[in-house]
Structure 1
Amino acid sequence: MKIECSVEKIKNAISQTERVTGKNLTLPVLNSILFIAVNRHLKLRATNLSLGVEIEVPAKVEKEGVVAVSGAVLNAMFSNFSHNESIHLEDKGGNLLVRTNKSQITLKGQSHEDFPTIPIVSGRTFEIDSKKLTEGIKSVYYSSSVSDIKPEISSVFVYTNGDNLIFVSTDSFRLAEKKIKIKGVEDITGIIIPWKNVVEILRILGEVSGVVKVCFNKNQISFSVDNIYLTSRVIDGIFPDYHQIIPKDFSTEIVVLKQDLLNALKLSNVFSDKFNQVNLVVDPKQKIFELSSMNNDVGENKTRVDAVLKGESTELGFNYKYFLDCLQSITTDSVSIKMSGTGRPMVISAVSDPSFTYLIMPMNK
């Protein structure tokens, strides 16, 4: 292999692929990035066996070839190169010779014959704008469980309902649902994508624009856009039937400016206990909407927030972090909060935007 290419293009590709490399003592080649020089391109591949990525960058290829080099070392090295210079890469007996105008470096290579293949997924397909796809993922993924004990909820669940592509995640204490309008997609009963993979998919696709081709079957899902190909395993399991836990009737309703609520939550956080508990008091007759928190080592806080209140008086405790997380998914100026009594979940959404629904289970006082 012998090529010349732009530092800027390869630097970005290395940064993206390095995060996908694996850490496997029985298969050490997983910590490497595979370079494949072919035609007028350099392909960079990485995989951890659950998630795989291939990114193609333009290059002047003098000699085709393949070499595998540590992803962490490559990323650290390229972070010190200027964007506007050219770089020469050459395979020297399985090692990688790197030359710039001022540097010459030899990186120890690994046996590329042991590098796993990245599957080309075949199955059902649909297309979606990258911004819509990342909006759907970003709106819900933070609600996933991060524990592997129940893999079916350490995930983002994707399915269709009419013209909506619906993204859902839950950790049993909260749940987020985002509906994205999309046309021309046949009925999808459910795809469960591992949370760890979703984080990297969002990070990589969040930097691109254009139409993403999605292909999936019962074992894998892939995303193709421009010069990027991503593939992830899907979880063989059943996502909880969450519709039954979302209340249909409410006894108390609140409409509040998002920024006012955000400020009150952040202040309450200063005085919250080790369980992150903040208490909420609503009294529509007295026009009181109050957030309070107490920490025996710090002090206590009570903050009233201007709001439009309807219905019955109620009190409940909740994890302020769960509340804070969902506000990033609400793009309107006002937030709707609905409750149906003590011990029942609180439902949060954007005013005049039914596409996002968020549910928080209350905490015991």
Structure 2
Amino acid sequence: MKFVCTQHDLNINLALVSRAVSTRPTHPVLANIKIAATVEPDLIQLTGFDLSLGIQTNFGARVEKEGVLTLPAKLLNDIVAKLPSGEITLDDEAGDNLVTITSASGRYQVRGMSAEEFPELPSIERGETNQLSATAFIDGLKGSLIACSQDETKQVLTGVYLKVEPERLEFAATDGHRLGIVEVYPNETDRASEENSEPVETANTNSFEVTVPAKALRELEKMLATGTEKDRLGLQFEQGQVVFGWGERKLTTRTLEGKYPDYRLLIPKQFQRQITLDRKQLLSALERIAVLADQSNLVKFSIASDSQSIDLSVESQDRGSGRESLLAQISGADLDIAFNIKYLMDGLKTLPTQEITISLNGPLEPVILTPLGGLKMTYLVMPVQLRN
């Protein structure tokens, strides 16, 4: 194998696929990145795979000799990232899986392993590829990933439940303390983002439901963010496996087994109180008083209908206390209620509009935060019992 490429192209793509390389591999070859070079077309394919999450990408290069092998991901990343910009050459002419990396500044040799031991990425042979809007998919991930559970004993809750329908995508995640739901309509997103350009054809979407690990979706979110609004996201699914593809990139992951809970049952059908206020002002006030929160992370809301205001307060025996007051449009009776300040701030950061609505009932019943206009998003947070 021998090819010439730019340091920038190799560095960017190595960093991308390295996200799927295990830090504690079950087999030595899984600590490596698979590199395949083809002459027609002149293309380099990089693959990282930890047996659960796989990332593959292609980029153009001048291939002088075809070949395939694997090299240690961390070592290769460290070398290439520090090389000067410009052309670099990789070749294995020394034999014995020894690769020479040559740049304008120097020459390095890295010992790899045969690609024969590297497992193939799973592929889905049956069924059609669903074509989705990448922009709509990012919107859904932003509002749901934050609520995934970190508790591995509740494995199905460590992912995002994804419901795909021909005209609608629904994303949902919950850790038992909060719940994020986002509904996006890809065709509407397409029209908004392509106002001054030619429309992109949307393929018919098959309906299905799947729970995808949060780890894989966080990587997908980062990768999609580097694309363009016109990118189409291809999605294939069959029992136990889901594959996302767009442009020259592919991400494959195992799905999470088990029935996802019926999260819609958690949302109250009616509310006794409703508050409309500026999201950024509330978030800024919480960020200021959060520095005084103790391990309980508790913030108290005192809602006053007469004065149309909310008092936020934090009290810590060891640190002291803080209080902020905000004006708001309030309907319903006065109420004292408390929240985990981190959960509340997480939700406020994901809501996309300037003004939001907070709907609530009693001091221990679910509270709903929704954006005023824009994206159809629901963020539910459970209150915390106030101590006397």
Q: 2:106 aligns with which of 96, 103, 109?
A: 103
TM superposition score normalised by structure 1 = 0.96
- Measured after TM superposition, the shift of residue 185 of structure 1 is 5.0
- Measured after TM superposition, the shift of residue 17 of structure 1 is 0.7
TM superposition score normalised by structure 2 = 0.90
* Residues 84 and 105 in structure 2, CA contact (< 8 A), matched pair in contact too: no
- Measured after TM superposition, the shift of residue 111 of structure 1 is 3.1
Instruction: Output the CA distance in 2 between the equivalents of 1:186 and 1:100.
Output: 47
Per the alignment, residue 199 of structure 1 pairs with 218
Alignment of 1:26-37 (within 5 A): 26-37=26-37
CA displacement, residues 180-215 of structure 1 (integer Å, 9 cap, x when unaligned): 103565463411001121121212222122111111
CA displacement, residues 55-93 of structure 1 (integer Å, 9 cap, x when unaligned): 10101111101121111111111221233x001000132
Per the alignment, residue 120 of structure 1 pairs with 123
Q: One-letter code of the match for 1:61?
A: V
Question: 3-state DSSP class of the match of 2:173?
Answer: strand
Q: One-letter code of the match for 1:69?
A: L
Question: Which stretches of structure 1, 4 residues or more, deviate above 6 A after TM superposition?
Answer: none
Instruction: Output the CA distance in 1 between the equivalents of 2:178 and 2:207.
Output: 24
Per the alignment, residue 41 of structure 1 pairs with 43
Q: One-letter code of the match for 1:64?
A: E
Say whether residues 1:14 and 2:18 are aligned partners.
no
Moved more, 328-337 or 47-56: 328-337
Question: 3-state DSSP class of the match of 2:135?
Answer: helix
Name structure 2 gaps, 5 residues minimum.
Answer: 188-202
Say whether residues 1:227 and 2:231 are aligned partners.
no
Question: 3-state DSSP class of the match of 1:110?
Answer: coil
Say whether residues 1:208 and 2:212 are aligned partners.
no
Q: One-letter code of the match for 1:59?
A: A
Question: 3-state DSSP class of the match of 2:349?
Answer: helix
Q: One-letter code of the match for 1:126?
A: N
Q: One-letter code of the match for 1:120?
A: S
- Measured after TM superposition, the shift of residue 169 of structure 1 is 0.8
Alignment of 1:282-301 (within 5 A): 282-301=303-322
Q: 1:66 aligns with which of 65, 68, 74?
A: 68
Moved more, 10-19 or 121-130: 121-130
Instruction: Output the CA distance in 1 between the equivalents of 2:375 and 2:139.
Output: 15
CA displacement, residues 272-330 of structure 1 (integer Å, 9 cap, x when unaligned): 12021111111212323111111111111121101111112112111111111122322
Instruction: Output the CA distance in 2 between the equivalents of 1:21 and 1:155.
Output: 20
Q: 1:97 to 1:354 in 2, by over 3 A?
A: closer
Per the alignment, residue 344 of structure 2 pairs with 323
Say whether residues 1:89 and 2:93 are aligned partners.
no
The root-mean-square deviation of aligned C-alpha atoms, in Å, is: 1.5
Q: 1:342 aligns with which of 363, 376, 382?
A: 363
- Measured after TM superposition, the shift of residue 110 of structure 1 is 2.0
